[in-house]
Structure 1
Amino acid sequence: MKWYLTAAMMGLLVTGQAYAGDDLDVTMRMVLDDQDLTKSVVREIQLPEPPAAERAAPEARDKAGAGLESAEDAREQGRAFGQEMADQARESANVNRDVPDKPDVPAAKPERPERPELPAAVDEIRDKLPEVAKPGN
């Protein structure tokens, strides 16, 4: 019972603090420069100017040049690798041509051996089987 009361008191304290918090709901409305500001506008927030594109351009060009060089190197390495693999495939195909063919398969199939004679005990057991279970049915 003590545990229940303690939990209930803690729950009331936490919910009380949550309801006592400040109301931070804000409604924002974008206003263009040529529109008149009304009394409903409380504060105007000035946004910083975006960084100039000219300042970043030389650094970006240098990095782009390095990226183009590495891409060209990768392309050349890929071509060389592809050419090497193609050469190996050609060599492998030529080696396989030199392998002698498989021996000829005989035209006629070998004769099938005859069944051996079963002992008499097997015949007796077969005779005792029901018709459904007898071989050949």
Structure 2
Amino acid sequence: MKITIRNQIKIDKHEEIIKETYNGELKRIAGKTVLIYKNEAEEKVLLKFDEQELTMTRFTDKPVTMRFHEDFPSEMTYEGLGSLSVLTENLSVNIQEKLVKINYQLAQNDLKIGDYRLHITWLDEEEQEKEGVK
């Protein structure tokens, strides 16, 4: 399975678009969809979501978990930066289209760090062959 992560990052007037594609796997656990892959640093990443919430956990020496929910801001601790707030403006999950969209902000002590537009898509092997991805 191919998992593609696209993240548009805007910090002040600087804008960057990052696109990464990984081999991974899809599971369904307790009514949630789970995508698992290893990132470029060979860290295991787990995306667990339903229509209301997505959690992204990166398993490093000190695991980092980001929680995205439109109704509830969340806190995370990022090594080197300390405590950050995650403010989800929009979370859209479409399992049939294999697409997750998240618009969010990161802030530290009420000071906005940046705006993010995250898109996550996934294709199984049959779909990859149809699209010539393999």
TM-score tier, shorter chain, comes to under 0.3
The alignment's TM-score, normalised by the length of structure 2, stands at 0.14
Higher RCO by CA contacts (8 Å cutoff, separation 6 or greater): 2
Higher normalized strand content (fraction of residues): 2
